[in-house]
Amino acid sequence: MPSGYYNTDLGASLEDLMRDYADKIDSKTTFILVGDARNNYNNPRVDIFETIAKRSRNTIWLNPEPQPFWGTGDSDMLQYAPLCKRIFQVDNLNQLSLAIDQLLVLH
């Protein structure tokens, strides 16, 4: 990728994922997203996210933003959240460690 400024477009990323890897997503898949769900007012393609969530065993989101910020501005997290099995606020190494510990209890 050339240097410069890039705007997040989660919908386009989900489209790319389904185009290139749809046949790899099944009941053995754990789909992990890392990010704040801020989409720069692009189409969030919740329909694609829902398809991935239904096909997957687990859908896990590691979000650095506290829940009160979800749905503010260009955040689409409130649309994605109901489709996730687990969501963790992770904005530091300690929170990441706690999230991993909790995820390992699932298995």
Domain boundaries, the chain: 10-106
Question: Hey, what are 54's tokens?
Answer: 């239904």
Cα–Cα distance, 69 to 98 (Å, whole number): 21
Q: What tens digit of pLDDT does each residue of 42-91 get? A: 999 999 999 999 999 999 999 999 999 999 999 999 999 999 999 999 99
Cα–Cα distance, 79 to 1 (Å, whole number): 29
Question: Which class is 10-106 in CATH?
Answer: alpha beta
Q: Nearest-CA neighbor of 32 among 85, 102, 70, 101?
A: 85
Cα–Cα distance, 14 to 18 (Å, whole number): 6
Report yes or no: 75 and 47 within 8 Å, Cβ to Cβ.
Answer: no
pLDDT at 2 over 80: no
pTM to 2 decimal places: 0.89
